[in-house]
Structure 1
Amino acid sequence: MEPSAGQSILVLKQLGVFLQSLSPEQVEDLAAGRSRISLVRTQAQREAKTSRRGPSVDLEQLRLYLSGAESREVGEEYLKKQKLSRADLQALARVLDIPVRKGDNMDAIRESVVEATIGYRLRSDAIRGNAPTEGDAN
């Protein structure tokens, strides 16, 4: 069965987020053929991790807020005010299918989450010509 156009777009978005998370050395290794990308099922791993110790925040509420936030700055401030732990930020990243490296600090994880939700939407709107102009009320 061939993927639908919507599925293909979703996969490309996820691939873009993944590629943005790579270091320049990792990108170079990938381009030179010294590394490869592989598909790994993660649903069972995700369920096992969240069943052991669930996050201390409502991840769905965070996701919904970020999906409607008007700017990166608003999203970052919102996440900072939530006083999230590193584990909470990692859980949010997992829910959003954002790769997190072990060495990433909380600021890096927060920035990745904001870029993958708000930043992505703003770039997409700008490309499609849907970005609000300075004279708009929004």
Structure 2
Amino acid sequence: MKTRDTLKIIIRSVNDFICDLAENDIEKLSSGDYTISYKIVKLKNKNIDKIDILSETSFLEIIDLLDKCSSRLEGLNIIDNKFKSKLEIEKFAKFIDVAVMKSDKVDKIKNNIVESTVGARIRSEAIQKKEI
């Protein structure tokens, strides 16, 4: 059983690493001229599950709140209140399929999330001439 849990931790770590690769790194790997090398480093704190700060159910609740927003500013306020770090915001953005680059600042990621959720719905309703 212990081996299985250890394997889960290792696979999760490798998966997180691959998911965090930038688009240009993925292109380099797919060209065949590059390879991935691993380096094992000690974590600063022992909270291994820190990456899983918010669960999928929390993300779904946040999506529901964003769906009920009547303005982009409301959406930004929700994101400001729900997320404490850039890491949390990046994980949420990836969860809802919003592109995130490593060089993106927190404000840009927040704006992209709001534009992809609240903004898209507002534009759609305006096109369909529905009341907001």
Name the TM tier (shorter chain): 0.5 to 0.7
- 2:105 match: 105
Q: In the alignment, what sits opposite 1:123?
A: 123
> Secondary structure of the residue that 1:90 maps to in structure 2?
helix
Residue number in structure 1 paired with 2:73: 73
CA contact (8 A) 2:83 2:89 kept: no
1 or 2 for the larger relative contact order (CA 8 Å, sep ≥6)? Answer: 1
Number of aligned pairs?
Answer: 88
Q: Which runs of 5+ in 2 are unaligned?
A: 1-11, 20-48
Matching residue's letter, 1:70: S
Report how far residue 102 of structure 1 moved. 1.1
Structure 2 length-normalised TM: 0.58
Q: Distance in 1 between matches of 2:93 and 2:70?
A: 20
Check conservation: 1:76, 1:111, Cα contact below 8 A.
yes
Q: Deviations over 1:16-53 (max 9, x none)?
A: xxxxxxxxxxxxxxxxxxxxxxxxxxxxx9xx339x63
Gaps of 5+ in 1: 1-44, 133-138
The DSSP-based 3-state class of the residue aligned with 1:125 is: helix
**Aligned position for 2:61:** 61
SS at match of 1:101: coil
For residue 117 of structure 1, report the CA deviation from its aligned partner: 0.2
SS at match of 2:62: helix
Code of the aligned partner of 1:92: F
1:64 match: secondary structure: helix
Q: TM-score, normalised by structure 1?
A: 0.56
Structure 1 residues 120 and 126, CA gap change in structure 2 (3 angstroms): same
Matching of residue 91 in structure 1 with residue 91 in structure 2: yes
Structure 1 pair 94/83, CA: closer, same or farther in 2 (3 Å)? closer
- Is 1:89–1:109's contact at 8 Å kept on the other side of the alignment? yes
Contact 1:71–1:118, Cα closer than 8 Å, also in 2: yes
Aligned to 2:24: none
Q: Name the % identity.
A: 25
